[in-house]
Every structure is written in C-alpha cells, then in structure tokens.
Structure 1
Amino acid sequence: MKIAFIAHDQKKNDIVNFAVAYEPIFCKHELYSTGTTGSRIMEKTNLKIHRFNSGPLGGDQEIGSLIAKNQMDIVFFFRDPLTAQPHEPDISALIRLCDVYSIPLATNMGTAEILIHGLERGDIDWRNIVHEQRTE
C-alpha cells in the first residue's frame, strides 16, 4: 500500500509518535510525506519515506496529485483544527480528493488508530483491486 503522512506543526509530535508505535506495520509499505513531517519521522524511525515539499510550499498538492491519479491508498493527515493555515485551500482540496477517490483518511489519532489496525487486518486490501484494474 502507498501511505502518506502529513501533519500541521502542532501535530507533528503526534504523527511521529504514531509512526514510531506502528513502525513494524509501516515498514511493509511504500511511504510518502510532506517535507518536515517526513524528516521528523525518519529521524525517529528506520522508515524510508519519499518526501515532497512542505505543505505550504506545495507538498499537500503533490500528494493530492497522487490521490487524483488513484496512486495513494491511505492518508494520515494530523490536522490542527484550532490554528488557521495559510494554505487552507490546498488542505480542503486534498481532503476533497480523498472523498472523491474513496481514499481512507485519518485526520486525528482516534481515526488513525482504527485505520492502522484495519490495514494490519487486511481491511484495506480492497485497494489492491483498484491497482489491478489500473494495470489491465
């Protein structure tokens, strides 16, 4: 599975701790992230992550383009709903794309916990059908 990590500044520690806790699961997958979030996760884990630009510099849009091509399977986007973001339109577009393409999206730790356990159980394996259809 292709998995993306994104986190606002106030949520970066949370997503790093989440990645550390579930490193044995994440190491089995292809990982992507916006710039700083990816750097912080790689500093604390042995995970290899393809890093895009930081969110305000277009990283959200780069991940969004993979979603629009149906080339992303899961997005962990730890948002800070209490702080205004200068690139809010990009954030809204990314969330909209997840809805359009039925990409599982966790925007907080509670949903992320459910999603990661579902991934480990095989509940997200239906995404493999999407990949098979794309290659036919």
Structure 2
Amino acid sequence: MNIALIAHDKKKDDLIRFVLAYQPIFEQHSLFATGTTGTRITTETGLPVHRFRSGPLGGDQEIGAYIANDKMDLVLFFRDPLTAQPHEPDVSALIRLCDVYCVPLATNMGSAEVLVKGLERGDIEWRSIINGNE
C-alpha cells in the first residue's frame, strides 16, 4: 500500500517515534512524505521515502493529487491543532480529498495506531469494497 506521512513542525518528533515503533509494518509498504518530514524519516529510520515538496510549498497538494488519482491508500497526518498554519487551506483540502475518495486518514497518534494495526492484520480492504470486488 502507498502510505502518506505528514507532520506539522511540532509533531514531527511524534511521527518519527511512531514510525520507529511500527517500522516492521512500514517496511512492507511504499512511503511518501512531505519535504522535511520525509528527510527525517529516512535519516532516522533508514526507510526509503518518496519525498514531495514541503507542505507550505505544495507538498500537501501533491499528496492530494495522488489521492485524487487513486494512488494513495492511507494518510497519517500528525497535525498541530494549537498552532496556526499559513497553508491551512491546503491542509483542509487534503483532508477533504481523503473524505471524497474514502482514503483512511489519521490526524493523531491514537487513530494512526488503530489504522496501522488494522493494516498489519489486513483489515484495510476499502478499495475492493468500493469497486465491488469483495
């Protein structure tokens, strides 16, 4: 599966710890991330990550295009709800695209854990359900 990993600045450390904790699961999938987040994941975990631009420079929109083109299966976006983001409209658009295209989205560590453990068990079969391939 293609998994997008995104984190606001104050949440990057949390995302790195999360990826390290579930590294055996992430190793089995293709990882995508916005700029600095992707660099840090690769540097600190050794996992290969396709990097898009940073969020404020269009990375969120690049991931959104993958979602709209049926190329992204899961999005983990560790958001900082207490800090204003200059590119908030892009963040909102990305979240909206996940809803439009039924892409599972976690915006915090608690919901990310549920999705990643479901991924490990093979529970995420939403594409086959949508396409009638049950």
Give the structure-1-normalised TM-score: 0.93
Gaps of 5+ in 2: none
Equivalent residues in 2 for 1:121-136, closer than 5 Å:
121-127=121-127
Equivalent residues in 2 for 1:18-97, closer than 5 Å:
18-97=18-97
Partner residue, 1:98: 98
Alpha-carbon offset, residue 70 of structure 1: 1.4
Amino acid paired to 1:115: L
In structure 2, relative to structure 1, the CA distance for the partners of 1:16 and 1:119 (3 Å cut) is same
Q: Identity across aligned pairs (percent)?
A: 68
Alpha-carbon offset, residue 116 of structure 1: 0.4
Gaps of 5+ in 1: none
Alpha-carbon offset, residue 79 of structure 1: 0.2
Amino acid paired to 2:51: R
Alpha-carbon offset, residue 72 of structure 1: 0.3
Q: More displaced, 32-41 or 118-127?
A: 118-127
Cα distance in 2 between the residues matched to 1:82 and 1:55:
17
Amino acid paired to 1:116: V
Alpha-carbon offset, residue 127 of structure 1: 2.9
Alpha-carbon offset, residue 130 of structure 1: 6.4
In structure 2, relative to structure 1, the CA distance for the partners of 1:23 and 1:130 (3 Å cut) is farther
Aligned length: 133
Cα distance in 2 between the residues matched to 1:126 and 1:68:
15
Give the structure-2-normalised TM-score: 0.94
Cα distance in 2 between the residues matched to 1:61 and 1:45:
25
